[in-house]
Chain A
Amino acid sequence: MNLKKLSIENKKIRNLIPQALTILALLSVIFYFATNAQINMGNRGISFGFGFLSQEASFDIAFSLIEFDGSYSYGRAFLVGLLNTILVSIIGIFLATILGVIVGVARLSNNYLIAKTAEWYVEIFRNIPLILQIFFWYFAALRALPSPENAINFYDVSYLTIKGWYIPKFVWINFDIFCYSLILAFISIYFLNRYTKKQREEFGKILPTFTLSLGILISIPLLSFLLLGVSLSFDYPELKQLSETSYTYENGVSIIPELIALALALSMYTATFIAENVRAGVMGVGKGQKEAAASIGLNKGQILKLVVMPQALRIIIPPTTNQYLNLTKNSSLAAAIAYPDMVLVFAKTALMQTGRAIEIISITMLTYLSLSISISILMNWYNKKMAIKEK
């Protein structure tokens, strides 16, 4: 065996060669595209570099989670766009999941009306192109909203208008202490759950875990208010006259209609696919499982929680991961309705102002790739956690 170590007779080496050649081929393709781009850019007098990222952006963005105005750099503008993309994705995923689960379960309902309504919802919303749904929510549905002076008023606290949804601004004192208290509460809940699980498994004692957890979640932050000087007040939106006929609200926080329309369209669309996943998952659990669970005296809630859901989730999670990824990538349609996501702010506006097409498109593509891979990793971890554990 030792003699064969470096010869072609060695199976390991033989297997390595095609792999090495494949990588070489791949690298030469990349090299070809890179040199080709470089030569063509050279011919056309275009320079290449990422120095522009630190230049002043000199355009403003309507909606930003971090402080931004035109005096910040293109790099910062990219960050604003990225955060806006993440924000609309998180909101979209959250709403799509809730709606998807509800509709999915509703499709299985014995009630004819509920089941049919859910079916119609799925068939309508998954068969219309997403971009049209975005336009529908933005230009048709939100257009029906009143102007600020006739706003839909929620108890003088919040106002819904065509210019956006104005909500009170949170004004915190000692916000960091409040954050620490929240973290402390979550750690306590984690240990409480371990303790109650042990009690249940070893001594058969069933403690009211949920009530206790809720108690901790409320009481610890509450203590931080009472003892540690945390306080919270609100800046309520106030109507302001801009001209003889136009108004706006000031002081509060404005949730721009572009965000509302985009989040609505994305979640309504993706929810249809999630609903089908949920239906498939629940139907995939054998009838015998439920009957067996019922026969040992579990009630309906327990059957769902302890027997059906753990098995259904294994079917639901992988295709739902795909839907989360789709939703995140679909959020790039935002540019059509002026929601300042990464594509609009960076791949369009910044690209236009700087002309750095290759640099900006590569950065944007890599960022979407990293975003998607992060979601994949997170969901794969959850999937593993839910998978059958062989004991």
Chain B
Amino acid sequence: MIKSIKTWILVGFTSLLLVACGQGGSGSGSKKSKTLDNTKKAGFVKCGVSQGLPGFSNADASGNWSGIDVDVCRAVAAAVLGDADKVKYTPLSAAERFTALTSGEIDVLARNTTWTLSRDADIGLTFVGVNFYDGQGFMVRKNSGINSVNDFKDGISACTNTGTTTELNMRDFFNSKNIKYEPIAFEKADEVVQAYDAGRCDTYTTDKSGLAAQRTKLSAPDDHKVLPETISKEPLGPVVRQGDSVWEDIVRWSLNTMIEAEEYGVNSSNASSLKDSDNPAIKRLVGAEGELGAAFGLDNDWSLRIIEQVGNYGESYKKHIADTGILPNRGPNELWTKGGILYVPPAR
């Protein structure tokens, strides 16, 4: 008798406690710059990157990440924390990336992610800009005699990644050409490369920069080529969670600063000496004029730190994409003043 009363008192108490905890734990609203506060408290920027895409985000043997996507995170860390190395990288598959961001595991997603309407509007994400203009292409074996997508025939098998816009573009493309195809979609890029290399598929399709980068992983890279056609627009850019507009602005302007710096000829080696430049735009960039950082709650040297520690966009591109032989030609990723489409709003 006494024992059983004890039991239900215990159970009742536990349940009350759980309900009470429930009330306390929920309702964590989004204050204006919660992400910024948390980042400063943690002392590092939580950045989601790919599981290894040379040129964009790739880790070397000792675990150091580099690439133009990585540089976006480094720029944010330089601006917010004063040290570009204070970044914690989380490698994510295509399928995991958005959940990791919306759940708060990462605060910036810089993982060659295509900006589309549904992603921007529907799933609690905000794209802050474009750091690489890409387009989807096809890679085939050189000896196949296929020189254009018009040589594709019914029954062709195409390897790609699952959970990407690539899968959707591929369908649109083959449907418009009225070609029956076999889509083989792997979760990880490394498995796609292996399967294509083994001859499981006749073509490998993904963003052209990705094709160029992955080609280096094939057993005989020179036996393969990328077809000239581009079948889609793939503006790749960093993403943040919806609802923290201050953080969103910090990431957006960290990227914009890198591009703007290139436009005005400010780079990592000359930035500090340009503090007394005659051009007010340059002076603003290196923090010698105006109070631009205050708008995000940062000091005035935030942009100078980005340029000094990470470099401008051109330096980043040259180091990671051009000099590594992935895409020596900048194509659309050239400044608007030089015939490309990189054009950012003025920092003033």
Is the CB–CB distance between B171 and A28 below 8 Å?
Answer: no
Tell yes or no: B277 within 8 A of A by CB. Answer: no
Q: Mark A39-51, 1 if CB is under 8 A from B, else 0.
A: 1110111110000
Tell yes or no: B262 within 8 A of A by CB. Answer: no
Nearest opposing residue in chain B for A246, CB measure: B202
Partner of B22, one of A36, A256, A354: A36
Given A22-B11, A43-B29: A58 touches B168 (CB 8 Å cut-off): yes
Q: CA separation between A61 and B188, bound complex, in Å?
A: 17
Tell yes or no: A143 within 8 A of B by CB. Answer: yes
Q: CA separation between A349 and B170, bound complex, in Å?
A: 14
Given A36-B25, A353-B168: A248 touches B15 (CB 8 Å cut-off): no
CB distance from B113 to the nearest CB of A (A): 11
Interface size bracket, B side: 35 or more
Tell yes or no: A255 within 8 A of B by CB. Answer: no
Partner of A245, one of B119, B145, B163, B185: B145
Given A35-B22, A43-B30, A352-B94: A243 touches B163 (CB 8 Å cut-off): no
Among A10-18, A105-113, A320-328, which stretch is in contact with chain B? A10-18
Is the CB–CB distance between A18 and B123 below 8 Å?
Answer: no
Among B151-159, B322-330, B339-347, which stretch is in contact with chain A? B151-159
Interface size bracket, A side: 35 or more
Partner of A21, one of B12, B123, B125, B242: B12
CB distance from B173 to the nearest CB of A (A): 11
Among A177-185, A215-223, A331-339, which stretch is in contact with chain B? A331-339
CB neighbours of A163 from chain B (8 A): 157, 199-201
Partner of A45, one of B195, B201, B242: B242
Tell yes or no: B273 within 8 A of A by CB. Answer: no
Interface centre among B21, B27, B163, B201 (most CB of A within 10 A): B163
B interface secondary structure, majority: mixed
Nearest opposing residue in chain A for B197, CB measure: A143
Given A25-B18, A143-B198: A240 touches B25 (CB 8 Å cut-off): no
CB distance from B182 to the nearest CB of A (A): 5
**Cβ < 8 Å to B, chain A residues 224-263:** 240-246, 248-250, 254, 256-258
CB distance from A218 to the nearest CB of B (A): 37
Is the CB–CB distance between A348 and B202 below 8 Å?
Answer: no
Instruction: Please list the 7 inter-chain residue pairs (A to B) with the smallest Cβ-Cβ separation, ordered nearest first.
Output: A355-B123, A352-B163, A244-B145, A32-B22, A25-B15, A243-B144, A44-B124
Contacts from B to A (Cβ < 8 Å): 1, 4, 7-8, 11-12, 14-15, 18-19, 21-22, 25-30, 94-95, 98-99, 102, 118-119, 122-125, 140-141, 143-146, 151, 153-157, 162-164, 167-168, 170-172, 175, 181-188, 191, 194-195, 198-202, 241-243
27 contacts between A and B (CB under 8 A): A17-B8, A21-B11, A25-B15, A32-B21, A35-B26, A36-B25, A40-B28, A44-B241, A45-B243, A46-B102, A46-B124, A59-B171, A59-B185, A62-B185, A163-B201, A240-B153, A240-B155, A245-B144, A246-B141, A249-B155, A338-B162, A338-B185, A349-B167, A352-B162, A352-B163, A354-B123, A355-B118
Instruction: Knowing that A45-B124, A338-B162, A352-B164 touch, tell me 6 more A-B residue pairs with CB under 8 angstroms.
Output: A17-B8, A59-B168, A336-B191, A338-B187, A344-B185, A348-B95
